[in-house]
Amino acid sequence: MATVATSSRRPYHVVVFGASGFTGQYVVEEVAKRLGEGPERNLKWAIAGRSRGKLEKVLQRVANNLDKPELKCAVEVIVADVGQPESLAIMCKQAVVVLNCVGPYRFYGEPVVKACIENGAHYIDICGEPQFLEGMELFLGRKAQESGVYVIGSCGFDSIPADMGILYTRQQFKGTLTAVESILTVTTGPEGGCGHDATWKSAVFGFADAAKLRFFRQQFNHKPLPVLGPRLSKRGSVFFCKGIGQYAVPFVGSDASVVRRTQRYLYEEHQQTPVQYCAYAGVGGLCSVLRLLWSGFFFWLLAKCSMGRSLLINFPEFFSRGMFTTAGPTQKQMEGTSFCMTFCGEGYSKGHDPSQSKPNMKITTEIRGPEPGYVATPILMVQAAMTLLNEPHALPDRGGVFTPGSAFARTSLIQRLQQRGLQFTVRGQQGAS
């Protein structure tokens, strides 16, 4: 197990790979903020990517934004390319932790994971692609375990809020938590909001690769997790949620996949009762629902064939009705945007027999935070790295491929996120205590 102390031979505690990408630039800025203060101020870091010129421009911009001119000289630039394995090896040999911001991960992620495992660097990404995440566990999990390397995916908005939110809800529940529904709402300011088209591309390819994901899951040959109490029923494709005052639809991101993997790990390794989980997202009023259904139909139709996928990828703004653009959100849009994820859980009080009756306790918790894609995600990723570096005693006993919840269940990650502006709160708890 590599720690800050035992890895002092490596020149950098953190290397941000893909630092010149849209999200990578914001991760660089967050690292610069965090590693310049508090207990982490002495940690060494570097940035990496294909183009030295672009990386130097990122450092220049971050130095100007933070009024830290010393960054331009103090932070090393490493040239590395996913198409050049030797360059990845050189990068990984210098790092304790690599923060991989290069996506779509289904195309560019595996060489970085392999290089980290082969060269003893821990790995963190912000991937929201279940096919890649589960594929890495299937094909590289044993190698990571043998090497003592922690490979931790989904350490951005996909899917730390959902995964750690379930663990937080379990911690606050005065009994045995058995089922949770989460509902995500995103609020934008007068400037509106949008996402970068890289996220849109990942969704397009994810739909096209759905069969491969099913194949991966068959290869695990997992037994079904036990269900305590009644089975959680999935809601319809569109329903009105009184709790948020708007219509909601199933959330199609990686949250459900990540939470399910975490619950399996906690059950098999720590004998914790698995929590059933369904994820939803609020979409607004009836007009918003109609627009979403219309856009969703065309997305489904076009993503089924290569020509249609080409249209979707080349014209993201048109087919997403402005929700995703090649330019991404402006600074004003990000400043005016925030998210709230509400968790509605149920279960049984202590000593209550689940086989005899329905759940007799309910709980509602929530997580609130800033703009999810490019403000919250860098915070989440960097705090995951700081937790890995500083709390090795609380990590799993051996390396491997992990979800955030399985890697950080016994750490102070939630407290760290609260200190950085994400609010974890209990809205209410009902039933026997």
CATH T-level fold of 12-157+377-408: Rossmann fold (3.40.50)
Angle at 249 between CA 248 and CA 250, to 5 degrees: 135
The answer to whether the pTM exceeds 0.85 is: yes
Confidence at residue 4, expressed as pLDDT on a 0 to 100 scale: 39
160-372+421-431 CATH pick, 3.40.50, 1.10.3470, 3.30.420, 3.30.360 = 3.30.360
Cis peptide bond upstream of 20, omega within 30 = no
**Is 62 within 8 Å of 31 (Cβ atoms)?**
no
| 12-157+377-408 and 160-372+421-431 in the same fold | no
Q: Domain residue spans in the chain?
A: 12-157+377-408, 160-372+421-431
Non-local (6+) Cβ contacts of 70 within 8 A are 63
pLDDT value, residue 8: 53
Given this model, what pLDDT does residue 18 score?
97
What is d(CA 344, CA 356) in angstroms, rounded to the nearest whole number? 22
Is the Cβ–Cβ distance between 287 and 308 less than 8 Å?
Answer: no
pLDDT tens string, the chain, 433 residues long: the values are 334 334 558 999 999 999 999 999 999 999 999 886 767 778 899 999 999 999 999 999 999 999 999 898 889 999 999 999 999 999 999 999 999 999 999 999 999 999 999 999 999 999 999 999 999 999 999 999 999 999 999 999 999 999 999 999 999 999 999 999 999 999 999 888 888 888 888 888 888 777 888 888 888 888 899 999 899 998 988 999 988 889 999 998 899 999 999 999 999 999 999 999 999 999 989 888 888 888 888 888 888 888 999 999 999 888 888 888 988 999 999 999 999 999 999 999 988 877 778 899 999 999 999 999 999 999 999 999 999 999 999 999 999 999 999 999 999 999 999 999 999 999 998 886 5
pLDDT at residue 280 in the model: 96
* 75 φ/ψ angles, rounded to the nearest 5 degrees: -105, 125
List helix spans (H) across 210-346.
Answer: 210-220, 255-270, 286-303, 306-314, 316-319, 331-335
- Cβ–Cβ < 8 Å for 197, 314: no
Predicted pLDDT of residue 3: 44
Contact partners, residue 218, CB within 8 Å, separation at least 6: none
CA-CA distance, 279 to 181, in Å (whole number)?
6
